[in-house]
Structure 1
Amino acid sequence: MNNVQSGILESTPPVSRYLIFSLTEQGEARRSLRALRDIADGRQTIVGFGQSLVLALGAIVPGLRTAPCYAGVGFDVPSTPFALWCWLRGDDRGELLHRAKRINRALAPAFRLEQVIDAFTYGTGRDLTGYEDGTENPKDERAPEVAFVRGQGDGLDGSSFVAVQQWVHDLDRFDAKSTQEQDNTIGRRRSDNDEIEDAPPSAHVKRATQESFDPAAFMLRRSMPWADGSCAGLVFVAFGTSLDPFEAVLRRMVGAEDGIVDALFTFTRPISGAFFWCPSMQDGRLDLRLLGV
């Protein structure tokens, strides 16, 4: 798997910066993407393209689409599509800032930077609620099998699809719950990360266990906490060979299957949701042949 964006397989770094762009000058897109191709190494800088950009280039990426939106009792799951997404990984926030500026310059004027999210690793890889994140992640040789496309031909093999959501936590509301209520919300005990067998059906683990779907909804999660002033939460990032597993889990979480809503919605909400296609690598650069670049 030496033709993949290898940072997808690596554990989350100490700090990250997510850059989200819209397309503003369609005629300049290819030039800007050629410049980005020379910057992004696929390890410390991972790149994904949205459906609108692919269509603007007159291309087709089989399986790429726009994220769905849902509405439930007292909550919304929005769809906020964008043209381009960059995940900057590192251990120095200053270096990430300068790398982001270089990328922004390379992409102008074809692309406009719409949002910057700074994220970080908390403890040993925990959500800000204190619970371990990504417990069910596939490991070892299973991870690339789940994350990267195979057997679909040049330009697609080694690529990946990614679902990205920014969630805002109401940590005061979560902290007001008893320890038992908190554990039942997640479906695991915070103290030892063991799954609670008799957790209520609304517990997140009960809603989202990947093996409970048919077909199984395996994803490679690389989520990280974020905080900005008085707001904080989780940047949910999940890679896969298709976007089907994420959609299946999300539908169950919002209660579209059986009317049972995931207990996560008692204290947190997504404020964004987008799908992107992350191309493979060729000779150390992004392989953009499918886009005609």
Structure 2
Amino acid sequence: MHHVQPGILAGIPKFASYLLFHALPGIELAPALQRLAALTDGQRLVVGLGESLVLSLGHSIAGLHAFPSYALPGCDIPSTPSALCCWLRSDERGDLIEQTRQIEQTLAGAFRLEQQVEAFKYRNGLDLTGYEDGTENPVADAAVATAVVSDQGPGLDGGSFLALQQWLHDMLRFEAMSSQQQDHAIGRRKSDNEELEDAPESAHVKRTAQESFAPEAFVLRRSMPWASGSQAGFMFSAFACSFDAFEAQLKRMVGAEDGIRDGLFQFTRPLTGSYFWCPPLKDGQLDLRAVGL
């Protein structure tokens, strides 16, 4: 029986908000985290702890470490760690506003909100470019095996690791590309989502084909579009039982293995990159035993 936060395995909501918090120095953090744990149902609110927060509590989580950064020609992958991530999920945007205020009040005096990204479901789960995300996502038992930690003991089993990146699209550049150039950058036809056999090796689908890695690099994607004013893009989020699969995909995307850069970099780039450990649930709230709470 797994005790994963259920929002991780649930479908994409209509609206979401990503709240990233900084821990205030010299403050006892445990009381605020315990209040947040009691508030977290894992469905409307999914919570992840960053490495710096776990270490500040005097503990460590095996597999939780800093997000990798790359500075290569044509692709700059930043590492922007945060102490705490709250992923708010709802079918009503107004609920997110109320919930954000409640979480800020719960964490007041110990954590400061440093970034807030508003996201939404576009049509049936498309990126703003019109391409479907997560086509090869594992489902049912395979999704659980991919995203949920097991056989590690109480306080760890049911946990999950979250890789989070905010990508900014250059929509003018994308729209200036021909339909064939767009399809070749992704590796699928936008019209029917069919994978293209003749796509170049730089196509995103080929760069990240999960079964092409050894071992296979499966993640559970729960990404959503975001928009703020004239800027827009994709909030990439991938859950897994470790960061190994994500890191294998990212390394190939930037061309660190063979010098071939992912076609995505023709029109989009990541602004942030952070890792979080999402604790399991126990008795309907966050189980923080692994960090001594």
What is the RMSD computed on CA atoms of the aligned residues?
0.8
Distance between the aligned counterparts of 2:55 and 2:134, measured in 1? 33
Deviations 1:116-159 (A, max 9, x none): 10000001000000001100100121111100001111111000
Aligned to 2:21: 21
Render the CA deviation track for 1:37-66: whole Å, top value 9, x for unaligned. 111100110000000000000011000001
Shift of 1:28: 2.2
What is the distance in 1 between the residues matched to 2:62 and 2:45?
A: 24
Aligned to 2:280: 280
Q: CA–CA distance in 2 between the matches of 1:257 and 1:155? A: 36
**Alpha-carbon deviations, 1:159-212, whole Å to 9, x = none?**
000000000000111111111111000000011101001100000001001001
Query: Aligned-pair distance for 1:95?
Result: 1.1
Q: TM-score, normalised by structure 1?
A: 0.99
Q: Structure 2: which amino acid aligns with 1:34?
A: Q
The aligned amino acid for 1:23 is A
Is 1:133 the equivalent of 2:133?
Answer: yes
Q: Is the 8 A contact 2:2 2:157 kept in 1?
A: no
Return the alpha-carbon distance in structure 1 between the equivalents of residues 26 and 39 of structure 2. Answer: 20
SS at match of 2:197: coil
CA distance in 1, matches of 2:95, 2:50: 26
Amino acid at match of 2:240: G
Q: Is the 8 A contact 1:26 1:56 kept in 2?
A: no
Whole-Å separation in 1 of the counterparts to 2:123 and 2:98: 26
Partner of 2:232, secondary structure, is: strand
After superposing the two structures, state which structure 1 stretch, 21-30 or 274-283, moved more: 21-30
Partner of 1:197 in structure 2? 197
Q: How many pairs align?
A: 293
Matched AA of 1:176? A
1:147 maps to which residue?
A: 147
Give distance in 2, aligned partners of 1:75 and 1:149. Answer: 31
CA distance in 1, matches of 2:102, 2:44: 14
| TM-score normalised by length of structure 2 | 0.99
* 1:26 Cα offset (Å): 4.6
Offset of residue 91 of structure 1: 1.1
- Partners of 2:32 and 2:122 in 1: how far apart? 35
Q: CA–CA distance in 1 between the matches of 2:175 and 2:95?
A: 35
Whether the 8 Å contact between 1:25 and 1:111 is mirrored in structure 2 is no
Report if aligned partners of 2:19, 2:85 keep a CA contact under 8 Å in 1: yes
Kindly indicate whether the alpha-carbon contact (under 8 Å) linking 1:13 and 1:91 is maintained by their aligned counterparts in 2: yes
Letter in 1 for 2:48: G
d(CA) in 1 for partners of 2:220 and 2:109? 33
Q: Is the 8 A contact 2:151 2:157 kept in 1?
A: yes
- Measured after TM superposition, the shift of residue 2 of structure 1 is 5.0
Residue aligning to 1:258: 258
Confirm or deny: 8 A CA contact 2:75 2:254 kept in the other structure. no
Measured in 1, the distance between the counterparts of 2:186 and 2:86 equals: 30
- Distance change in 2, residues 1:26/1:215 (3 Å): farther
Q: Which amino acid aligns with 2:168?
A: V
CA distance in 2, matches of 1:32, 1:150: 28
Hey, what's the Cα distance between the residues in 1 that align with 2:21 and 2:80? 12
2:235 equivalent in structure 1: 235
Aligned residues with identical type, % of pairs? 57
**Pairs within 5 Å for 1:64-75:** 64-75=64-75
Evaluate the alpha carbon distance shift between residue 63 and residue 259 of structure 1 in structure 2; reply closer, same or farther with a 3 A threshold.
same
Q: Which whole-Å CA distance do the structure 1 matches of 2:53 and 2:131 have between them? A: 37
Q: What is the deviation of 1:108?
A: 1.4
Q: How does 1:211-230 map to 2 (within 5 A)?
A: 211-230=211-230
Which residue in the other structure is 2:81 paired with?
Answer: 81
What pairs up with 1:86-101 in 2 under 5 angstroms? 86-101=86-101
After superposition, the C-alpha distances for 1:77-117 in whole angstroms (9 at most, x for unaligned) are 00000100000000111110110111111111111100110
- List runs of 5+ in structure 1 lacking aligned partners: none
CA distance in 2, matches of 1:190, 1:33: 44
1:246 maps to 246
